[in-house]
């Protein structure tokens, strides 16, 4: 009897070991690379995607998140995703090098607020921007993560557009951003964001523009305390997946990836709305002075933003013209 019990116990252990080994063999590791550090909306969104995918697939997919450019700079990990060395990455308009319409994710003065942008990014505007992108890049954009609206931070109060004219403001070295600054009369100074504080100290720049999260995190408001809530550009990053890998997934697995992308995006949209309030409080408590722009100021930069749209006329044509994308975003504007 004892021998029988021992045999049954040993057999049970063997079966458990076999099942565990089989489950481990079936588990598939997914690597996602990003540029933002831990705690930022983009990185939190990547982690959330992994949690949801693991739950939906009952542990079949194990997502490993590599934030803060640990797998290389942005262009390097985009290239790695395109050739399939890693499966996924998070990035923004840098992919417009393959598909110009991607630059329109950050069109100046395109969205009134987060709700307007969310409707467009969950609807036809997202689809139109993405159309033709997989064929040109080997990547597929599966959702959109908002990182926040860009606002001006300056040493002096901005009451009218004339107050902007001639100011030496730091701008990202991106043609659309530089053109928008020019349309506003700003003397744009292209430089890395990491050099802004030094530039403010030395007088090389008089300010710049960034989402509230970046203004709060770097405490740039200590050098340029006047924060004008212009909201002129919404920074949007997204999750991208190697299209060959995506197309090769079983139908059910592809649905899991799509659902995880949707739910993780929902999480980031909701999270950002809360973080915007928290960052306002942090800036104010730190001595920054936050002001809503006057209607005249808002109207003036809206006009400047719309003038900058002409850059898309020659670059965004196939398969969807820029005009169709802009009209689509307009259709999601709330009626007043």
pLDDT one-digit tens code per residue, 262-314: 999 999 999 999 999 999 999 999 999 999 999 999 999 999 999 999 999 99
Closest Cα partner for 166 from 158, 292, 151?
A: 158
Write down the pLDDT at residue 336.
Answer: 63
Share of residues in the chain with pLDDT > 70 (%): 92
Q: Give the containing element (helix H, strand E) for 306.
A: helix 295-308
Q: Do you find a cis peptide bond into 319, omega within 30 degrees of 0? A: yes
Quick one: pLDDT at residue 223? Answer: 96
Share of the chain above pLDDT 90, in %: 88
Long-range Cβ contacts of 20-24 (<8 Å, 24+ apart): 23/59
When pLDDT is cut at 50, 70 and 90, the band that residue 2 belongs to is: low
CATH annotation of 22-327 = 3.40.190.170
Helix pair angle (295-308, 175-183), 10° resolution = 130
Span 44-95, pLDDT tens digits: 999 999 999 999 999 999 999 999 999 999 999 999 999 999 999 999 999 9
The pLDDT of residue 180 is 96
pTM to 2 decimals? 0.89
């Amino acid at each position: 009897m004892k021998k029988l019990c021992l045999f049954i116990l040993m057999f049970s252990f063997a079966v458990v070991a076999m099942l565990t080994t089989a489950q481990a063999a079936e588990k598939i590791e997914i690597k996602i690379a990003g540029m933002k550090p831990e705690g930022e909306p983009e990185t939190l969104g990547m982690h959330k995607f992994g949690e949801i995918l693991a739950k939906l697939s009952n542990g079949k997919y194990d997502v490993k998140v590599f934030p803060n450019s640990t797998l290389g700079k942005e262009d390097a990990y985009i290239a790695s995703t395109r050739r399939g060395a890693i499966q996924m990455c998070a990035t923004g308009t840098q992919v417009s090098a393959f598909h110009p319409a991607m630059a329109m994710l950050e069109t100046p003065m395109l969205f009134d607020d987060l709700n307007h942008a969310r409707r467009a990014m969950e609807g036809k505007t997202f689809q139109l921007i993405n159309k033709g992108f997989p064929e040109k890049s080997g990547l597929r954009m599966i959702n959109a993560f908002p990182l926040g609206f860009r606002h001006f931070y300056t040493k002096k109060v901005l009451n009218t557009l004339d107050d902007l004219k001639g100011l030496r403001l730091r701008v990202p070295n991106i043609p659309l951003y530089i053109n928008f600054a020019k349309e506003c009369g700003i003397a744009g100074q292209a430089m890395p964001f990491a050099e802004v504080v030094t530039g403010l100290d030395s007088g090389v720049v008089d300010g710049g523009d960034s989402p509230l999260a970046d203004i709060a995190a770097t405490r740039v408001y200590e050098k340029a305390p006047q924060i004008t809530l212009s909201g002129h550009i919404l920074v949007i990053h997204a999750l991208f997946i190697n299209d060959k890998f995506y197309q090769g997934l079983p139908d059910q697995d592809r649905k899991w990836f799509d659902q995880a992308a949707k739910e993780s995006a929902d999480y980031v949209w909701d999270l950002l709305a809360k973080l915007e309030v928290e960052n306002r409080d942090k800036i104010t408590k730190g001595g920054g002075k936050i002001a809503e722009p006057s209607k005249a100021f808002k109207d003036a930069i809206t006009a400047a933003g719309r003038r900058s749209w002409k850059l898309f006329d020659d670059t965004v044509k196939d398969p969807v013209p820029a005009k169709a994308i802009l009209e689509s975003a307009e259709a999601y504007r709330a009626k007043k």
